[in-house]
Amino acid sequence: MDIRIDSDKRNELLGRREIEFTLNYKGATPSRKEVLDKISAKLNLDQKLVVLNSFRTRFGSSELHGLLRVYDREEMKSKLERPYLFERGKKEEKKEEGAKQ
């Protein structure tokens, strides 16, 4: 996977960075958790403060465009973000664990 940062803006009012990125991959579309892990590792981010808002692909393309928000504090993250965004990557893990048993 190859990651390119298209935009990295600082939003002082909300205490966060807003990062737009493009990810090139081979094979199947990566999961939200894989994308979050890869970007967090590349940018050296604490995953507790990161929210992967959205990502989209085009049919037949191996390129993914996404939006990531990195907060300064967990309090701001919990105040501003919608709760379902915290659970998005975790549901897949629970399903996989249940299928393996």
Fold (topology level) of 2-100: Alpha-Beta Plaits (3.30.70)
Residue 99 CA, chain-centre distance (Å), reads 25
CB 90 within 8 A of CB 42: no
Q: What is the pLDDT of residue 94?
A: 53
Q: What is the pLDDT of residue 92?
A: 52
First to last CA, the chain: 30
Q: Using the Cα atoms of residue 75, residue 76, residue 81 and residue 86 in order, give the sign of their dihedral.
A: negative
- What percent of the chain lies above the pLDDT cut of 90? 24
- What percent of the chain lies above the pLDDT cut of 70? 85
Domain boundaries, the chain: 2-100
